[in-house]
Amino acid sequence: MVFNDLSVRAPSPPSTGYSIIDIRTPTNGEVKDNGDIKVSRPPSPPHSADASEDAFDHSDLSKTILDSLDKPANQKSIPTYVLYDKKGLRLFDQITYLDEYYLTNAELDILQRKANELAARLENGSMIFELGAGALRKTQVILRAIEKRQIHVDYYALDLDQHELDRSLMSLGEFQYVKLFGLLGTYDQGIPWINQHFTSKGIKKAFLWLGSSIGNQTRLESALFLKRLQEMCVEPGDLCIIGFDKRNHTEKIKTAYNDPKGVTREFIMNGLDHINRIMGCGKFIDPASFAYDSAYLEKQGRHVAHYRALDNMILNYRSDTFDRTIQIKKDELIHVEHSYKYSFQEITSLLAAAGLDMAECWTDSKDQYRLVLAEVRPFKFACNVNAVREILFPSKKSLGEEEKSIQCQHCIDSKDMSAYKHEATELGVSLSESEIWPIDSLPTLKEWKELWKSWDLVTQQMINHDTMLFERPIALRHPFIFYLGHIPAFLDIQLSRHKVDIEVGPANPIQPEYFTDIFERGIDPDMDDPTQCHPHSEVPKNDNDWPSVKSILKYQQDVRKRVTDLLNLWLSEARDAQSTAWIDKVIRRRKPARALWMSFEHEAMHLETIIYMLVQSPNTLPPKGVSLPSWKFAAEAEADIIPLAEASYINIAGAASVIIGHNDREEEDSNPSCQKIQSFGWDNESPQREYKNQRSFRIQTRPITNGEYLAYLKDIGSSDIPASWLKHGDQLYVRTVFGPCPMAFAKDWPAQVSYNEANGYAKSKGRRLPTELELTRFRREIASGSRPKKVPNIGFLNWTPTPVNNEQVHYLGDVWEWTNTIWDKYDGFQPSTIYPGYSADFFDGKHRVVLGGSWATHPRIAERDTFRNWYQSGYPYVFAGFRLCE
Which CATH number is 747's domain given?
A: 3.90.1580.10
* Residue 8's pLDDT band (cuts 50, 70, 90): very low
Long-range contacts made by residues 570-575, C-beta under 8 angstroms, separation at least 24?
Answer: 571/437, 571/445, 574/436, 574/437, 575/436
The pLDDT, as a whole number, for residue 321 is: 78
397: number of Cβ within 10 Å: 8
Separation CA 271–CA 12 (nearest Å):
46
The set of residues, in sequence order, having a beta carbon less than 8 Å from that of 70 and lying 6+ positions away, is 324, 326
From the list 607, 330, 343, 626, the residue with the least C-alpha distance to 452 is 607
Has residue 423 got a pLDDT over 60?
Answer: yes
Separation CA 685–CA 851 (nearest Å):
12
Examine the domain organization and report whether 585 and 641 are in the same domain. no
The pLDDT, as a whole number, for residue 412 is: 87
Has residue 398 got a pLDDT over 80?
Answer: no
Helix (H) or strand (E) holding 682: none
Question: Is the bond into 792 cis (omega within 30 degrees of 0)?
Answer: no
The set of residues, in sequence order, having a beta carbon less than 8 Å from that of 662 and lying 6+ positions away, is 679, 681, 685, 686, 687, 688, 864, 866
The pLDDT, as a whole number, for residue 846 is: 95
* Residue 16's pLDDT band (cuts 50, 70, 90): low
Average confidence (pLDDT) over 287-313: 96
In tens, the pLDDT along 683-704 reads 999 999 999 999 999 999 999 9
Q: Do the bridges between strand 126-131 and strand 205-209 make them parallel or antiparallel, or are there none, so unpaired?
A: parallel
DSSP bridge pairs for 334: 307
**Rounded to 5 degrees, what are φ and ψ at 374?**
-120, 155
The pLDDT, as a whole number, for residue 14 is: 53
The pLDDT, as a whole number, for residue 42 is: 31
Examine the domain organization and report whether 168 and 107 are in the same domain. yes
E strand spans, 674-777: 689-694, 697-700, 725-728, 731-734, 741-742
The pLDDT, as a whole number, for residue 399 is: 78
Number of domains in the chain: 3
From the list 329, 306, 491, 335, the residue with the least C-alpha distance to 409 is 335
Average confidence (pLDDT) over 133-146: 89
The pLDDT, as a whole number, for residue 530 is: 66
In tens, the pLDDT along 613-655 reads 999 999 999 999 999 999 999 877 667 889 999 999 999 999 9
Examine the domain organization and report whether 394 and 493 are in the same domain. no
Q: Tell me which residue range forms the domain holding 218.
A: 92-247+343-404
Amino acid at the residue 405: S
Greatest mean pLDDT range, 122-136, 397-411, 856-870 = 856-870
pLDDT over 70, % of the chain: 92
Average confidence (pLDDT) over 355-382: 97
441, 593 contact by CB (below 8 A): yes
Q: Is residue 655 part of a domain?
A: yes
The set of residues, in sequence order, having a beta carbon less than 8 Å from that of 89 and lying 6+ positions away, is 134, 164
183, 233 contact by CB (below 8 A): no
From the list 352, 360, 813, the residue with the least C-alpha distance to 626 is 360
Examine the domain organization and report whether 789 and 849 are in the same domain. yes
The pLDDT, as a whole number, for residue 400 is: 74
Has residue 295 got a pLDDT over 70?
Answer: yes
Burial of 527 per CB tally in 10 Å (0-12, 13-18, 19+): middle
The pLDDT, as a whole number, for residue 527 is: 61
**Which of the residue ranges 281-290, 588-597, 700-709 would you say has the lowest mean pLDDT?**
281-290
Amino acid at the residue 199: T
Out of 388, 404, 420, pick the residue that ends a domain.
Answer: 404
Examine the domain organization and report whether 632 and 582 are in the same domain. no
Examine the domain organization and report whether 610 and 634 are in the same domain. no
Average confidence (pLDDT) over 71-95: 93
The set of residues, in sequence order, having a beta carbon less than 8 Å from that of 125 and lying 6+ positions away, is 38, 152, 153, 203, 204
In tens, the pLDDT along 99-136 reads 999 999 999 999 999 999 999 999 999 999 999 877 68
Amino acid at the residue 817: E
Q: Is residue 333 part of a domain?
A: no
Has residue 30 got a pLDDT over 50?
Answer: no
Has residue 659 got a pLDDT over 90?
Answer: yes
In tens, the pLDDT along 223-272 reads 999 999 999 999 999 999 999 999 999 999 999 999 999 999 999 999 99
Radius of gyration for the chain, computed over Cα atoms and rounded to the nearest angstrom: 30
As a whole number, the mean pLDDT across the chain is 91
365, 109 contact by CB (below 8 A): yes
Give the domain CATH number at 469: 1.20.120.450
Out of 351, 385, 404, pick the residue that ends a domain.
Answer: 404
Q: Is residue 842 part of a domain?
A: yes
37, 179 contact by CB (below 8 A): no
**Rounded to 5 degrees, what are φ and ψ at 862?**
-65, -30
Amino acid at the residue 313: M
Q: Is residue 487 part of a domain?
A: yes
Separation CA 520–CA 539 (nearest Å):
10
pLDDT over 90, % of the chain: 77
Q: Is residue 281 part of a domain?
A: no
Average confidence (pLDDT) over 574-591: 94
Sign of CA dihedral 649, 650, 654, 655: negative
Average confidence (pLDDT) over 372-401: 91
The pLDDT, as a whole number, for residue 539 is: 81
Examine the domain organization and report whether 561 and 452 are in the same domain. yes
Examine the domain organization and report whether 365 and 442 are in the same domain. no
Examine the domain organization and report whether 605 and 685 are in the same domain. no
Question: Is the bond into 672 cis (omega within 30 degrees of 0)?
Answer: no
Average confidence (pLDDT) over 290-298: 96
Give the domain CATH number at 387: 3.40.50.150
* Residue 501's pLDDT band (cuts 50, 70, 90): very high
Separation CA 447–CA 605 (nearest Å):
15
Average confidence (pLDDT) over 166-188: 91
Q: Is residue 437 part of a domain?
A: yes
Q: Is residue 190 part of a domain?
A: yes
Burial of 715 per CB tally in 10 Å (0-12, 13-18, 19+): exposed
Q: Is residue 409 part of a domain?
A: no
Has residue 533 got a pLDDT over 70?
Answer: no
